Structure 1
């Protein structure tokens, strides 16, 4: 299948502040430690962490690429401008510490850190520093994950399996368990499913998020300027990976207003008449159209 032409438009994407600016910052040592923690989280707070043992061994930058700086790599550039904010998933106001703890408990399937802990303060300082140039309430161009257009069909995990085997297994293994570093403390390539991967409450368990993420960043080394996967391949690959077993998160208190749930959040109850399977794999356009129709009534 030929790569899709639905690439990111040629717009100037926001960039992180330079290393020289960090070196001139009064709290440069804290910022450098924060960046180190984002890049090598498992070394410090993974299952064999030197400071704490509270996560599954993934690094924050497994989901937030290049230390949270890469365009369309789920970067952090819009965080400072938009937090604190009321998060619909919790129904409560969340600050940057709460946002980090959400990732620690979901993507890293671990335990939260107190806001007074050195590691938490350093990560928060670094993340906020990255977004210092973005005006309050605005979104940096190319931040977070590229919003991939919905397919006219359901994403197909069966079709995604051979794509995984040809494009992904060399790094993440056919078993999905990734490759540990020689010291056994972290992963050179992270597990995509199984007990040490992200749990089913993580953002990337929504296949729209995972599809947009892998479209612009995978196989490892590609970017929005040279994607290798077509849109359909990205959707099917996301469906395959997110169909595999992984830890379960208690989601009882998520989305207190069920009408706020993203349409690809595959856990009921739902405010619409569509089945769980369609919320998981699609097609999503009929669900989207249903909600649009409700707004006009």
Structure 2
């Protein structure tokens, strides 16, 4: 039974540190996930229930460290407070990483704290935690990352590391619930069907025009496309990533309620819409595709012709609400 109530129990416990989040309640935690339809962990998978802010208050950590971790949590859940400085769209970190970054099958962020530094294919070099966070600001927030070592970057990093408390570095086991695991891609994807499904299931929150909902300058529901959304370099523009997120998390509070085909069709429709330019844009879409088409964009529709109107997606110089293309933090690293 895929009960919205069970999802609320899980989300509420992750958010509020009640019920099943205690380490001695791992079995209840797994049972709740499997009741929702998520797979049970394999014997060789690492299951970690991240600590909460309530756990933080009860810990014997230094008060100043607690304050910094709380600040990181605040920035993670209300990243819009950095709008115009580091964020140039309607996104918060927690819009994609649900449950304040704790929710399994919603790309929980704590694995980054124990697997980095590590190689990342997106930029073809070894990244540390701060650089990984900087990538989210650059692409998902269509913005400019806080400076490495700055107060805000340290706070966000500290929050990631707090969530990973108790997990050893470079775990040998695969992490249960990591990322946005996607169902197998169907043979055919339908733009028209995806549009109808979006209007039926998603528009009530995100709007038929995909611009989301903001109230009094605060994001209530994010924009899945347009100037207020992520740019063409964000991970969610890859169909496989979007389908995984939608299948496991949408509509909000009803995970796994869509069929695999429906999730993929919505992802196909959503990612067939325009958004700000990829910060790695060279000034020519064909040249950009030569560089990133075989890797990152082989899973996106960037540079492809939209069949509904013949538009070449991403063939523009629009940078959305910011007045720059690529922040200075995006650079190659050679370690030489």
* TM-score when normalising by structure 2: 0.70
Residue 266 of structure 1 and its aligned partner are, at CA, apart by: 4.4
Task: Tell me if the contact between 1:178 and 1:190 (Cα under 8 Å) persists in the aligned partners.
Answer: yes
Match of residue 39 from structure 1 = 77
Residue 203 of structure 2 is aligned to residue 149 of structure 1 = no
> Number of residues paired by the alignment?
256
Residue 38 of structure 1 and its aligned partner are, at CA, apart by: 0.5
Mapping of 1:46-125 within 5 angstroms?
A: 46-47=83-84, 52=85, 54-125=87-158
Residue 155 of structure 1 and its aligned partner are, at CA, apart by: 2.2
Show CA shifts across 1:189-234 (max 9, x none). Answer: 11111101011110000010010101111111124xxx21000000
Match of residue 235 from structure 1 = 264
Match of residue 173 from structure 1 = 207
Residue 167 of structure 1 and its aligned partner are, at CA, apart by: 0.3
Distance in 1 (CA, whole Å) between partners of 2:150 and 2:233 is 25
Residue 115 of structure 1 and its aligned partner are, at CA, apart by: 1.6
Gaps of 5+ in 2: 1-35, 283-287, 307-336
- Residue 122 of structure 1: SS of its match in structure 2? helix
Distance in 2 (CA, whole Å) between partners of 1:164 and 1:116 is 41
Task: Tell me if the contact between 1:77 and 1:143 (Cα under 8 Å) persists in the aligned partners.
Answer: no
Match of residue 219 from structure 1 = 251
Task: Tell me if the contact between 2:119 and 2:126 (Cα under 8 Å) persists in the aligned partners.
Answer: yes
**Higher relative contact order (Cα pairs below 8 Å, separated by 6+ residues):** 1
Q: 1:176 to 1:32 in 2, by over 3 A?
A: same
Task: Tell me if the contact between 2:182 and 2:247 (Cα under 8 Å) persists in the aligned partners.
Answer: no
Distance in 2 (CA, whole Å) between partners of 1:222 and 1:78 is 25
* TM-score when normalising by structure 1: 0.78
Q: 1:246 to 1:8 in 2, by over 3 A?
A: same
Q: 1:70 to 1:117 in 2, by over 3 A?
A: same
Gaps of 5+ in 1: 1-5, 269-274, 278-297
Task: Tell me if the contact between 2:189 and 2:265 (Cα under 8 Å) persists in the aligned partners.
Answer: yes
Distance in 2 (CA, whole Å) between partners of 1:90 and 1:53 is 20
Coordinate RMSD, CA, aligned: 2.6
1:140 pairs, out of 175, 198, 201, with: 175
Report the more deviating stretch, 108-117 or 169-178.
108-117
Distance in 1 (CA, whole Å) between partners of 2:262 and 2:125 is 36
Residue 144 of structure 1 and its aligned partner are, at CA, apart by: 1.6
Q: 1:267 to 1:164 in 2, by over 3 A?
A: closer
Match of residue 264 from structure 1 = 299
Show CA shifts across 1:238-271 (max 9, x none). Answer: 0011001111113358996876547414458xxx
